[in-house]
Amino acid sequence: MSNLQNYEPQRVLKWFYEINQIPRGSGNEKAVSDYLLKFAQERKLEVEQDEALNIIVRTPGTSGYENAPRVAIQGHMDMVPEKALGSDHDFLKDPIEMAVDGDWLHANQTTLGADDGIAVAYAMALLDADDIPHPPLEVIITTSEETGMDGAQALKPGDIQSAYLLNIDSETEGIFTLGCAGGADFSASFSTEREELAQPVASYEISIKGLKGGHSGQTINEGRGNAIKILARILYQLKKQDPELRLASFEGGSKHNAIPSSATASFVSANPEVSQLVSSEFGKIRAELQGVDNDVDCLLQSGQASSLASVQASASIIDYLFVVPHGVQSMSPLMKGLVQTSLNVAIAKEDNGQFNVQHSLRSAVNSSKEELLDRLFCLAEHFGAKPDSTGAYPAWEFNPESSLIDRVKEVYKNSTGEEPEIVAIHAGLECGLLGEIAPDTEMISFGPNMQDIHTPRERLSLSSTERVWNFLLELLASFK
């Protein structure tokens, strides 16, 4: 079990190691779902695997807890499969290689999968134990949370039978979430009107790299650079000087819920001052990002293009990417410092002659989300693109009257000596969808300290993992 066997809580880290031996990127959860099914069956627990590969396990309360209210432990089995440039990791077959650096557990140039594998490990440790007092438990492990919450959307009324639900999918210890943003995905699809050339022609290639990226809900308010937007800004300045500029390619971003950290475009231009223009514009961008994304870099090099988008298609794509908004759209008037509505320009790439731009929207107010969608539809149509929206999910509305708050506050203070913080967040959680099918179930979200999730720098605090485990045990014991 590598050197994780030297750390606590051993009964949790044991299972985290085991599931990290199974590739489980979003959309590739069959193997890990089958593993969890077998785990429950071997322990003769009541278990269900549905068509979406969600796993639901139920177990009775321990002695003295037989008549206590049922409590659900909920998280998702999938992870964001991101790797550093130069890594040869194959997320379809390779296990996650882990290492400990002080208090932090991290992976070797890939995402760690603590988001949300640590919830799965906590749940497995509970189900595997025969010496932990607890009320009747319901463990709900969903699929494809990171790519649209498909697993949660597949759950049906009656699947959640608990009075209380503990969502272990937050990344800051001591902060308990009682509300989150809803969201939707939006795409704009352009025809490139591509021309195949008889002979390759000289072209330029611009690459933007070195940005931090990050989770588009949790870090959207930090002003981190978006590689797609930076590249579009440079190309727009080049197009101003050369209206005949034609794109050969444009690609950036890889996940709908991650701020793009790199992007590359190749193009043909007759302007002899391309190098000077790129250098000038990037200099402005780099200065603007100082203190936020200090390592941003821009590389211009020569190449060969064998096919080109038309002048009109090139202009439409560049103009759309230049003007489409990205980042915070509004702040909450009810909770200081909370982003109310945001937009992430997430992925831009060509596929079969269609250039597609994918965006992720978030808002704590459903009407604001719909208004932003309407603006995107209008903007895409203006530039000749075909707009579409999918994957909408509702906000989890903040309920300060939840009876779970007082219990959590008391147990957390007794467990740690610290006062917990109750918040709403801008990141999306499955609780909004789960609340629709189980409106009488009180829910709260928490978790151990993590940093840089959805990036190859993701790491998990081992000491925090142990403290949250001890708190979870005390919280479950309090339901007697």
Catalytic machinery residues:
78, 145
Give which of 475, 422, 440 is closest to 179, Cα–Cα: 422
Spatial neighbors of 112 by CB under 8 A, at least 6 apart, are 20, 96, 98, 105, 106, 458, 459, 460
Q: What's the CA gap between 325 and 219, in Å, rounded?
A: 16
Which ranges constitute the DSSP H helices of 199-310? 227-241, 274-288
Given a contact cutoff of 8 angstroms between Cβ atoms, the answer to whether 185 and 390 are in contact is: yes
Q: What values do phi and psi take at 356, rounded to 5?
A: -115, 135
φ, ψ at 224 (rounded to 5°):
-65, 150
Spatial contact of 278 and 206, defined as CB atoms under 8 Å apart: yes
Interhelix angle 462-477/10-19, nearest 10 degrees = 110
Sign of CA dihedral 102, 107, 109, 113: negative
Other Cβ atoms within 10 Å of 63 Cβ, number: 7
